[in-house]
DNA sequence: GTACAGATTGAG
DNA sequence: TCAATCTGTACT
């Protein structure tokens, strides 16, 4: 299976979003492989995005990785309890990332254990040690291609109602049509 | 320095 | 409906 390289991630977030659905994410932990098929993602792109941590182009210790090249891990703690896993996209200087919201079990776990951004990180044992990890070089976490054709649906993002009406409604959430493993 | 809300989740 | 409790931001 072909590993996804820099050229896949160094593109606009929305393009990566649509194409990353159906791809495999592989985690190696203590000699065992955990594999999931990505079935739900959201895009956060540009300094004008009210829902993004990079809104206004402001750089903080937490979000600075969003301003770097595509293919890096942006992981952060939310509500003091849950890790949320993002992959940066695009080119240096343009803050963009896509949030992995749900994956379908392939190997190493089962059921809907990864059907939600916080749950996914728990099952895949992802934490702050992955901050800035390069997915094109890492030996413990990477993505693999899948030639399978996927039917993609799109709609508004989740959990950002605080943003203004325009940004909270734009359809930057993508998921695999009729897949039972997307988050509720 | 204090106050508060958030890209969530599971329990009640 | 609420609490778990870290991080950034807007105040005093």
- Work out the percent of chain A whose per-residue pLDDT is above 90: 91
Does the nearest atom of strand B lie within 7 Å of A71's Cβ?
no
Nearest to A67 by CA among A54, A56, A78, A51: A54
The number of folded domains in chain A is: 1
CATH of the domain at A147: 3.10.300.10
Any domain includes A182: no
Q: Which nucleotides of B are covered by protein (CB under 7 A)?
A: 5-10
* Residues in contact with A16: Cβ distance below 8 Å, sequence separation at least 6, in sequence order: A8, A9, A43, A70, A87, A89, A98
Residue A1 lies in a domain: no
The pTM assigned to this predicted structure is: 0.95
Q: How far is the CA of A37 from the C1' of C8 (A)?
A: 33
Cα Dmax for chain A: 47
Is it the case that residue A59 has pLDDT exceeding 70? Answer: yes
The pair of structure tokens assigned to A133 is 């990890």
State the burial class of residue A83 (Cβ atoms within 10 Å of its Cβ: 0-12, 13-18, 19+): buried
Closest nt to residue A64, judged CA to C1' = C8
Confidence of residue A178 (pLDDT cuts 50, 70, 90): very high
Q: Is the CB of A162 under 7 A from strand C?
A: no
In a domain, A91, yes or no: yes
A61 Cβ within 7 A of any nucleic strand C atom: yes
Q: Which two tokens stand for residue A7?
A: 């050229």
Q: Is residue A123 part of a domain?
A: yes
User: Domain limits at A133?
Assistant: 6-176
Q: Is residue A181 part of a domain?
A: no
For residue range A30-41, list pLDDT tens digits in order.
999 999 999 999
Domain membership of residue A118 (yes or no) is yes
Contact, A52 CB vs strand B, < 7 Å: yes
Residue nearest to nucleotide B7 (CA to C1'): A159
A43 is a domain residue: yes
> Which segments of A4-157 does DSSP mark as H helices, in order?
6-9, 13-20, 117-123
Query: CB of A99 under 7 A from strand B?
Result: yes
User: Is the separation of the CB atoms in A102 and A120 below 8 Å?
Assistant: yes
Does any domain span residue A50?
A: yes
User: Binning pLDDT at 50, 70 and 90, where does residue A179 land?
Assistant: very high
* Burial status of residue A13 (CB atoms within 10 A of its CB: 0-12, 13-18, 19 or more): buried
């Amino acid at each position: 299976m072909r590993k996804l390289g820099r050229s896949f991630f160094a593109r606009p977030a929305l393009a990566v979003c649509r194409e990353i659905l159906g791809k495999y994410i592989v985690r190696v932990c203590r000699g065992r492989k955990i594999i999931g098929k990505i079935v739900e993602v959201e895009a956060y792109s540009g300094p004008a995005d009210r829902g993004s941590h990079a809104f206004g182009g402001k750089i903080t210790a937490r979000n600075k990785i969003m301003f770097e090249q595509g293919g890096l891990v942006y992981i952060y703690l939310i509500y003091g309890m849950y890790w949320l896993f993002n992959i940066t996209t695009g080119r240096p200087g343009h803050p963009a990332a896509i949030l992995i919201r749900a994956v379908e079990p392939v190997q190493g776990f089962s059921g809907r254990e990864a059907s939600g951004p916080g749950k996914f990180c728990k099952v895949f044992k992802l934490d702050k040690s992955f901050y800035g990890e390069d997915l094109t070089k890492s030996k413990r976490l990477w993505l693999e291609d899948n030639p399978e054709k996927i039917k993609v649906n799109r709609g508004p993002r989740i959990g950002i109602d605080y943003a203004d009406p325009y940004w909270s409604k734009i359809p930057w959430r993508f998921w695999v049509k009729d897949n039972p493993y997307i988050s509720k």
